[in-house]
Every structure is written in C-alpha cells, then in structure tokens.
Structure 1
Amino acid sequence: MLDWHSEYLVIQARQREIAAAAEFSRQARDSAPRKGRAVRARSGPGLRWRAGAALVLLGRRLQGDPSRLAEKC
C-alpha cells in the first residue's frame, strides 16, 4: 500500500493526463471540418477590427504611451 502522499501524487498525475486528453480532443474537434462546410469561413471585418484594436492597445502598453499613463493617475 502506498503512503498517502504517494497516492495523492498518483491521483494528481492521472487528473493531469485526463485534462490533457480532454484538451487534445477539444482542439481536434474544433479543427475538424464541419459537415457541409469543407473550407473554414473567412474572418469578417469585425474580427479584424477587434484584433487590430487589441494590437494597438498592446503597442501602447509596450511603448509606455504617456496618455495611457495619465489615465491611471
């Protein structure tokens, strides 16, 4: 019989394996083509706009834009 700590570590390892398998199957399911849709739909202008806005905010944060710093004070 394993002591309680070893048993705990084994249970944790099994839980990590189960979580990794679930994540892998989710990714495989999401990347699989849907019935009746051979090619993935292209992203619309809304998605591109949101991605562009996120990049602008990230760029300001990386450059230390003074207008952003003034908002926090």
Structure 2
Amino acid sequence: MLPSLGPTELIVIAIVGIVLFGKRLPEVGKSLGKAVVSFKDGLRGITDEIDQPTPATSKVRETRTGGSAPRFE
C-alpha cells in the first residue's frame, strides 16, 4: 500500500511541478483535466452498453419466460 501524502510532500511536488513546467503549468492542467473527463465518459459509455439489453438478448429472455414461444400440445 502507498502511504498517504502529507502537506510537506504536496509542497515538494508543487515546487517540482512549477520548476519543470513553469508557464506551461495551466496548459498541462487543462490537458490533464480533459483526459480525465474523456476517460470518465468512456467508462460511462461502456457501463451504458452493458446495462442496455440488445435485441437478441431480450428475445432470448422473452422465449425463456414464455412470451411468444410456440406451444406443442
């Protein structure tokens, strides 16, 4: 497990980020934000696909529950 970050570590990370990226730091933050949003949208699309039944699976469910299956007497 990773230990939690304290205030000292966060300050060091912020200083290193400012030194490395300088004036480009807002651009880097914006691109990271867009990447996170697109990742979440992709996950949401996958979960929506999983949750929605396809016509083939709904037809199988219908026949299993006695919907429109032919009956032989």
TM-score normalized by structure 2?
A: 0.47
Higher gyration radius (CA): 2
State the TM-score, normalizing by the size of structure 1.
0.47
